Structure 1
Amino acid sequence: MKIKLILTLLLLGSYTARVSAQTPYVWKTATTGGYTYKYVTNDPTQARFYTLKNGLTVILSPTNKQPRIQAYIAVKAGSKTDPADHTGLAHYLEHMMFKGTDKFGSLNWAKEKPLLDKIDDLYEQYNSSKDEGKRKEIYKEIDKTSGEAAKFGIANEYDKMMAAMGGQGSNAFTSFEQTVYTEDIPGSAVDKFLTMQAERFRAPVLRIFHTELEAVYEEKNRGLDNDGRKAQEAMFEALFPNNNYGKQTTIGTIEHLKNPSLKAIRKYYYDYYVPNNMGIILSGDFNPDVMIKKVAAHFNYMVPKAVPAYTFAPEAPIASPVKRDVYGPTPENLTIAFRFPGASTKDARMLSLIGSILTNGKAGLFDLDLTKKQKLLGASASPYVLKDYSVLMLRGTPVKGQSLDEVKALMLAEIDKLKKGEFAADLISSIVNNLKKSTIQQNENYGNRAGNLMSDFTSGVDWRVDLASINELAKVNIVQVTAFANKYLTADNYVIVYKHQGEDKNILKVEKPPITPVEVNAGEQSAYVKKINAMPDNPIQPLFLDYAKDIQRAKAGKVDVLSVQNKDNSIFRMYYRFDMGSWNNKLLPVAAAYLQFLGTDKMSAEDVSKAFYKLASTYSVSASPENTNVNIGGLQENFGATVTLLENLLANCQPDEKALTSYKARLKKVRENQKLNKGSIMQGLVNYAQYGINNPFNNVLTDEEIDNIKAQDLVDILHSLVNYKHTILYYGPQTAVQAGATLAKLHKTPATFLPYPAAKKFTRVKPGENQVLFANYDMVQAEINWIRNEEPYDVAKTPAVELLNNYFGSGISSIIFQNIRESKALAYSTYAYYSQAAKKGENDSFVAYVGTQADKMNEAIKAMNELLNSMPESEKGLLAARENVRKSIETERVTQDDILFNYLDAKLRGLDYDLRKNTFTAIKKLGLADVKAFHDTELKDKPYTYCIVASEKRVSDEDLKKYGVLSKPDLKTIFGY
């Protein structure tokens, strides 16, 4: 293909993407079914905005692609509105909103209430007392009374109820100015859902408080171990000395967490959890005329009241750079932050454009000048938009031997280019085209729809303005961009946070209080929940894949094409899939990553990135252990141009020794940084536990092998890639035959495919005794994984596996969560999961996890071991778990290119059918005895390998040796370099 033709295709493609007329967005009013609502013309989400008589906002966005509904119940209150003497309050109120009311979560409210009232009073005494001896005595009484009250409570009854109706992702989150409760439910369960939510928000009871507060302590400790969070908190503190964005944090101070007031929590609830300060946002499969009547009927009891106004002194301009230093064990990096106006302003929308000009993943100034040229290990610019103010955050990670001040200079130099307008003239139009594509993709998903609507509601952004923002940005020119940048990005008006690698000498941990495990009454059920369970729902017929019908097949020359047609919009995604990866050739992932720094004989690496971005297309090459994928995606109208560009790059990429030298240094720095990452260290330990000292994780190049890599060797791998057998997966508007015919002209393959290089094999080990693998890491917490390799994959086990995971170890209604977190307050995060092998003939595995304060490690291990050896039995809990699995399958719709990957996954396991169909049928017949038998056979009294990452200053060898034969592999052994 001549370069002239390529450029013609590019120009035609980008022109086509730009010529659509400006879409008008106007607020309109309509009335149907007795309810008046507002809507925006041409809104792709078809959202309706209702305001009920009591001021409650209801936003409904119907779509019938899946028989499920994403629900958000949002409160316009967060850490910004916390009382100054009770920071963290909004967040732990969020935790308490899962504990029930006087109607559910209680076995006997008449007996429970006096004890809860006594706990209220005890906490007020505890809160006001400064005498440590007296405080300990009060806490003993709190602990004792809490244990008595817990006998009448039912922990996690809310979560069990949501699980029983087929709910997924039951959770909540708190940030600066929002507290949001999230559920994903079957459309058939909406009556049960609304009944439960209306009761939940009527009069929450703060039961099982002291163990839940301990979970918040654990969350605080996780934050103290998170260098990224510490850097961000330092940034906000410096940017906002007058606003609570900077004056207080979401989780709160240790001092305030140690001195909670239930009366203050309750006051906060009654001040802010009022209908005129709340919104219910629903997107999914429903009739909005029917839904609004249901919502109104359930929530019209709520009474509006005036909400306390949040006031603050405006921030003074920053006259000179404000510097902060943060220390911790993770790699060093730099953050530069500029302050901007708040979310509802035009300037905040311009800020999003500025962010994309600097970083868009392909053609931004940071992308081309800093990342593509490998001047920095990583660089990004991103807006952080809040109601009162917004922030532009520049983040940079140094290459080997580079100082943070050099990172600063490089990033600020790009800001100077922005201010001078030194960027491609067509970059703004390319950004707009990519935003249009992104909007189409987001609106495909009911969860994304609901999330965007919720975000605008809580931040006070006009939905019409949001929809029109792309048209608004399309009219912006370079002169306006430079004027805007020069107004806000001056030489001295920023905050700079230096994240140093080193010991944080100021770190404090929340001390472990003495807690007596409380009763969780796992097998009990309140009369109210029984009533909800008895409510009828309309069963939804499950839809299972028929691979013969749901997947189209064709040929592109000699290559098989598997296709699913996109009949909804103009988006396509395509994959060249090779059944070889790093186990076949350790250079494959290196070559795949090197490609991003290469050009062709006619185009530079920067030209390639710009061309893809101009087409609103993406490309990537990735190599996993057993597969390599070449991925592209974009608008179908640019399909030919995108494929041509990709094929030209793969066939004609040129070796670049300078880029390779930089990439080798970059690769080594990335590898050094991995050794400073506790997650990577744990991943290495887990692989060691599963496969032994030589395992997939450390199957990497040595430093010497990296030094010996030749640019031509990597380019030869890329040039020859399509000479190996592969399959094309296509999802897009064309049929398989049409796509195959197009690709036959563009995708060149040899007469005979090359055989794959022989793959290295790894075999899972099964130790006959308990072992402990320990790695030292400077942190407050201890993280423990229990690892066990099981028998080879057996499809007949799948129903029991699904039920065991749901009942025993997965989710907040599980046995593991109830016992370790709710009853004993030993962790913020804990789970257990039996994982079936991804390939026929390979072994299943089991993993359990607890992340806990280091001084609780022994208690946490004991608690998990008790559950692994003796599973608590709850008939009602098992029924709820079974219903959750059944209804989740019933309402799951595998769509788009997920159909193709579902088929490939089934093939690997030796199946030619949708496995969910068997599970759905078989699980109805499984009971508690079946799960107990599976647990006892697979988990009880078995040897485990304990993988533990913790500080050796906080965990002793003596303790570690209690659990098995202790090994402390060094980082070179773990990582292989």
Structure 2
Amino acid sequence: MRILKQATLVLVLAGSFSMAGAQDKYEWKDASSGGYTYKYVTNDPMKARFYTLKNGLTVILSVNKKDPRIQTLIGTRAGSNNDPKDHTGLAHYLEHLLFKGTQVYGTLDWSKEKPYLDQIENLYDKYNKTTGNEARKAVYHQIDSISGIAAKYAIANEYDKLMTAMGAQGTNAHTWTEETIYEEDIPSNAVDKYLSVQAERFRDPVFRLFHTELEAVYEEKNRGLDNDGRKMYETMLSTLFPTNNYGQQSTIGTVEHLKNPNLKAIRQFYNEYYVPNNMAIVMAGDFDPDYVIKAIDQRFSYMQPKPVKEYKPAPEKPISAPIVKTVMGPDAENLMIAYRMPGGLDTKSNLLLGVMSAILQNGKAGLFDLNLNKKQEVLAAGADLLQWKDYSILMLNGKAKPGQSLEDVKSLLLGQIEILKKGQFDESLVKAIVNNAKLAELQGLENNGNRANSIMDGFIKSRGKNWASDVAYVTDMSTVTKQQIIDYANKYLGNNYVLLYKRKGEDKDIEKVEKPAITPVEVNREAQSPFLEKIAAMPATPVQPQWLDYQKDIQKGKVGNADVLYVQNKDNGLFRLYYRFDIGTLNDKKLMLAASYLQYLSTDKYSADQISKEFYNIACNFSVQAGSENTTVTISGLQENFDKAVALFEHIIANCQPNDAALAALKSRLNKVRTDSKLNKGNIQKGLSNYAMYGAKNPFNYTLPQAELDGLTAKELTDMLHNLMNYKHSVIYWGPQTLAAATADISRLHKVPATFAQAPAATKFAKQATNNAQVLFADYDMVQSEVNWVRNNGEYDPANTGIISLFNNYFGGGMGSIVFQTIRESKALAYSTYAFYASPDRKNEKYSTVAYVGCQADKMNEAIAGMNELLNVIPRSEKGLTTAKLSMKQDIETERITNDGIIFSYLAAQKLGLDYDIRKQVYESIDKMNFDEVKKFHDNNLANKPYIYCIVASEKKVNLEDLKKLGEVKKVSLEEIFGY
């Protein structure tokens, strides 16, 4: 499988380590079981079964008994490529509407609701054809009025309630160029419930609550207009594909088409593409495949096949000379170079493209890694792949360091392409790429999400027909020669690229989707359809929760003076070794810089480039991460190379040599990163929230002052690295070795001092009391506004963990929560919103209330009022509370903490002053809690309390006088936020 570079998926087929010919090893075979025939590929480590039901529905099943959960995907081979030319964004609209229910769920009374929905559909058809601003407003007013009546018969979010009640997680969906995928992670005992709901979901969906959902899509579009990266991506596609729908029809649609939706066109799209011969159900996890295929067949046999019109575009004309485009926006400058490559159905090209991409960049030993990033020739450089059916895209990206222009970066990126085309790379790199591909396969195989996404990706591209070559991919990689790569690069990488510059400045072409007048609609929180009650009554075999017993599940030992925490890996040949030091950036700000500096240093034996190559060649990794309280060294890879990897790291940390030039370059690049960070609205929002929690001096802006940074010497940093092992630390091992063997090997390779050095005293930051309402405002050039509510509360008490978990589930933690239903579903005020009571990670620290709304600037006042109402008065929904409790129980019942996660769970508990698995306490408290306790918690901790509002928005689009009504307004400068 293509594991090297994928835009949205991590593909993880675990190929065999023997290198027999792929033709002999990976073949399609037929088999029968449980009364059904299926196809499979020999030596497929996922053991995926490919079924085709009588109506053409594809079902692909992969069993993994690791956890009692199942990742499910239902996909249709239709996305934005299939949108009508006059209704772009339609596939995405439809995706949203498939959460709204059918004639039997999501409704109080379908017979009474239907006439109003028919009227709404006809009015949208009229609206679509109406011109003139006033005339359109009049039609929309009718839509709004009738929608309010129709909503009285609707049950908002009943789909989410159905899934939450059965213990589903990750309820979501996405639309892209060639696909629309519906995602659920369900408990293993919920198969029948899940399939019953999904079969009904796709039987005859009802497009109810459309105008509020439409507004959510408007918000999503406006968020994209504020995202410079998104604008770069869409400009790249439109330029690279002047005729293909990849570039001519954005997934979310044009502003003009978003303003003119047509429900009849959406229904027609559904009828054309949501047919069994164009869809697949993929399940990966703990289940009986014979039972599941029969259950799917019984429930989905009603679907009737019909011919599907495939999108078959004419080939794009070759690009004969570079095409240059510029995108403007407030974020940091960068550039992208994009090449149009052969499509994903060309298996030979896929193989060569994947290996070639890894030669350019693989994270350690690629041309970009060694020649640009390791040598600090640019601020950052990378290479990525998008692989679709018609074409693939090779994307090169880069950022300029200080004193460097984007044109300079372009020359450096293209210079690496020339090196590739001339074959100036080591042939052994291909072998190392294969070894690291095997490592990635093993690491990902246990994850059900990786399995399901890999399989679904194969269905979307080729209906799974290429699965044999997908399984053989890593084995086939070993057959690729250096000359093949050279020939491939010279064939496809010439002056046939699109060059995109992202410049800093005002984008004068932004056209936001205006806010329509929407009257809040009913959500009927207490209502339940008979269908929901029927699903809830379906029997399910109980799953027993499993608690950690830290005394039994973790073995302990010693390596010299250091404690060892050990869990054995009994599944495969992977290891992870950690040195966890009791010193972090709060003890010494310079630690983070020292950790970053290490990757650029040589030793008396190896150059910095050689170190990267050595680790890559043995398919192992190391990292040094300086956190606020702990610094962690991680060494991982194949146990067979354990000695080599650990010995090599120990040599590096002990013998790294000062390099003044590398430090000067690192300082210069760090200054550029700091400057760029101040241009990013997400970082600004994070900084404001820290300011609200901790005050002007806080963990976010606790960083090296410029003078200290300038004064740092290479010797000072290398001395810190040499001395790191002298500080107190524990050793964590997860791998196939026994405890005795592991400690013996580690003792031989890792020298621990007899007495640990004393770490500098740590700087302490305490959350400040929230005594008065205040507004912290940061100006940013954007269409949207971002609002966070922050309030600090009392100190951590483990006895509160259960009620806090229930409150968060009920109040603001998901799509079925009170906050989401009110702010988005009822009032259409935001695309994204949440609210929760945040627990600290250390005892004696305070809780915090955190809420968020991201909305159009002209809706900000309404959104703030809507959230404040919920923070002050919690709506009562006994059925909503029951659903939240069921969800909590099933989440805990099916959660399995395994591998080194057991050790890190223990360490997290220690920080909280606990020596037990607190999930057991929470689980046993769930049934005893009721709404009165939830309300009491809300009233005591959230209601009528002062909050600090952290607002990032454009001064041109918000009224500061309105903000003063919320509390004292403080405009916070970027220097105050970032500390430099």
- TM-score normalised by the chain length of structure 2: 0.97
Q: 1:581 aligns with which of 571, 584, 593?
A: 584
Contact 1:555 1:737 in 2 (8 A): no
Contact 1:561 1:736 in 2 (8 A): no
Residue 428 of structure 1 aligns with an amino acid whose one-letter code is: V
5 Å-filtered alignment, 1:416-435, equals: 416-435=418-437
Q: 2:10: which partner in 1?
A: none
Matches of 1:549 and 1:267, distance apart in 2: 59
Q: 1:204: which partner in 2?
A: 205
Residue 161 of structure 2 aligns with an amino acid whose one-letter code is: K
Residue 297 (structure 1) shift:
0.7
Q: 2:144: which partner in 1?
A: 143
Q: 2:11: which partner in 1?
A: none
Matches of 1:835 and 1:584, distance apart in 2: 25
Which blocks of at least 5 consecutive residues in structure 1 are unaligned?
1-16
Q: 2:456: which partner in 1?
A: 454
Contact 1:215 1:827 in 2 (8 A): yes
Matches of 2:354 and 2:553, distance apart in 1: 40
Q: 2:367: which partner in 1?
A: 365
Corresponding position: 1:624 with 2:622: no
Corresponding position: 1:926 with 2:929: yes
Q: 1:660 aligns with which of 660, 663, 669?
A: 663
Residue 755 of structure 2 aligns with an amino acid whose one-letter code is: T
Residue 237 of structure 1 aligns with an amino acid whose one-letter code is: S
Contact 2:74 2:279 in 1 (8 A): yes
Residue 557 (structure 1) shift:
2.0
Residue 501 (structure 1) shift:
1.1
5 Å-filtered alignment, 1:190-229, equals: 190-229=191-230
Contact 1:553 1:737 in 2 (8 A): no
Residue 272 of structure 1 aligns with an amino acid whose one-letter code is: Y
5 Å-filtered alignment, 1:604-753, equals: 604-753=607-756
Matches of 2:431 and 2:960, distance apart in 1: 61
Residue 18 (structure 1) shift:
7.5
Q: Find the residue that maps to 1:925 and give its secondary structure.
A: coil
Residue 20 (structure 1) shift:
5.5
Matches of 2:770 and 2:755, distance apart in 1: 45
Q: 2:489 aligns with which of 478, 485, 488?
A: 485
What do residues 909-953 of structure 1 show as CA deviations (whole Å, max 9, x unaligned)? 011111101101011111111111111111001110000000111
Q: 2:281: which partner in 1?
A: 280
Matches of 1:19 and 1:297, distance apart in 2: 41
Matches of 2:960 and 2:522, distance apart in 1: 33
Corresponding position: 1:781 with 2:781: no
Contact 2:583 2:727 in 1 (8 A): no
5 Å-filtered alignment, 1:881-960, equals: 881-960=884-963
Q: 1:83: which partner in 2?
A: 84
What do residues 516-564 of structure 1 show as CA deviations (whole Å, max 9, x unaligned)? 0000001110111111111111110001111111112111222111111
5 Å-filtered alignment, 1:190-269, equals: 190-269=191-270
Q: 1:476: which partner in 2?
A: 480
My pick for the range that moved more, 820-829 or 571-580, is 571-580
What do residues 703-751 of structure 1 show as CA deviations (whole Å, max 9, x unaligned)? 1111101000100110000100101111111122211110001001222
Residue 308 (structure 1) shift:
1.4
Contact 1:18 1:429 in 2 (8 A): no
Which segments of structure 1 move beyond 6 Å, counting only runs of 4 or more? none
Q: 1:568: which partner in 2?
A: 571
Q: 2:292: which partner in 1?
A: 291
Q: 1:969 aligns with which of 968, 972, 975?
A: 972
Matches of 1:224 and 1:864, distance apart in 2: 25
Matches of 1:961 and 1:459, distance apart in 2: 54
- Equivalent pairs counted in the alignment come to 960
Residue 21 (structure 1) shift:
4.8
Q: 2:5: which partner in 1?
A: none
Matches of 1:702 and 1:752, distance apart in 2: 33
Matches of 1:966 and 1:493, distance apart in 2: 53
What's the C-alpha RMSD, in Å, of the aligned pairs? 0.9
Residue 22 (structure 1) shift:
5.3
Residue 309 (structure 1) shift:
2.2
Residue 534 of structure 1 aligns with an amino acid whose one-letter code is: A
Q: Find the residue that maps to 2:498 and give its secondary structure.
A: strand
Matches of 1:435 and 1:839, distance apart in 2: 38
Residue 425 (structure 1) shift:
2.1
Matches of 1:526 and 1:828, distance apart in 2: 26
Corresponding position: 1:837 with 2:844: no
1:21–1:642 distance in 2 versus 1, CA, 3 Å: farther
Matches of 2:969 and 2:694, distance apart in 1: 17
Residue 355 of structure 2 aligns with an amino acid whose one-letter code is: L
Residue 769 (structure 1) shift:
1.1
Matches of 2:746 and 2:476, distance apart in 1: 37
Q: 2:378 aligns with which of 368, 376, 387?
A: 376
Residue 401 (structure 1) shift:
2.0
Which blocks of at least 5 consecutive residues in structure 2 are unaligned?
1-15
What do residues 347-368 of structure 1 show as CA deviations (whole Å, max 9, x unaligned)? 1221111111011000000000
Q: Find the residue that maps to 2:472 and give its secondary structure.
A: helix
Matches of 1:176 and 1:426, distance apart in 2: 37
What do residues 315-353 of structure 1 show as CA deviations (whole Å, max 9, x unaligned)? 111000011110111111110011111112121221111
Q: 2:398 aligns with which of 396, 399, 404?
A: 396
Residue 464 of structure 1 aligns with an amino acid whose one-letter code is: A
Matches of 2:146 and 2:18, distance apart in 1: 70
5 Å-filtered alignment, 1:763-842, equals: 763-842=766-845
Q: 2:272: which partner in 1?
A: 271
Q: 2:13: which partner in 1?
A: none
Q: Find the residue that maps to 2:734 and give its secondary structure.
A: strand
5 Å-filtered alignment, 1:1-40, equals: 21=20, 24-40=25-41
Matches of 1:557 and 1:740, distance apart in 2: 10
Q: 1:95: which partner in 2?
A: 96
Q: Find the residue that maps to 1:630 and give its secondary structure.
A: strand
- TM-score normalised by the chain length of structure 1: 0.98
Matches of 1:532 and 1:203, distance apart in 2: 18
Matches of 2:695 and 2:790, distance apart in 1: 12
What do residues 592-645 of structure 1 show as CA deviations (whole Å, max 9, x unaligned)? 011111111111110101111111111111111111111111000000100011
The percentage of aligned residue pairs carrying the same residue is: 58
Matches of 1:102 and 1:366, distance apart in 2: 55
Matches of 1:108 and 1:18, distance apart in 2: 59
Q: Find the residue that maps to 2:292 and give its secondary structure.
A: helix
Matches of 1:81 and 1:579, distance apart in 2: 56
Contact 2:560 2:753 in 1 (8 A): no
Matches of 1:384 and 1:445, distance apart in 2: 22
Matches of 1:565 and 1:397, distance apart in 2: 43
Residue 424 (structure 1) shift:
1.6
What do residues 99-156 of structure 1 show as CA deviations (whole Å, max 9, x unaligned)? 0000000001111000000000000000011122211110000000000000000000
Contact 2:693 2:768 in 1 (8 A): yes
Q: 2:9: which partner in 1?
A: none
Q: Find the residue that maps to 1:337 and give its secondary structure.
A: strand
Matches of 2:568 and 2:697, distance apart in 1: 43
Matches of 2:243 and 2:315, distance apart in 1: 7
Matches of 2:86 and 2:387, distance apart in 1: 27
Matches of 2:134 and 2:677, distance apart in 1: 45
Contact 1:552 1:735 in 2 (8 A): no
5 Å-filtered alignment, 1:121-140, equals: 121-140=122-141
What do residues 341-397 of structure 1 show as CA deviations (whole Å, max 9, x unaligned)? 111212122111111101100000000000000011111111110011000000001
Q: 1:553 aligns with which of 552, 556, 579?
A: 556
Residue 248 of structure 1 aligns with an amino acid whose one-letter code is: Q
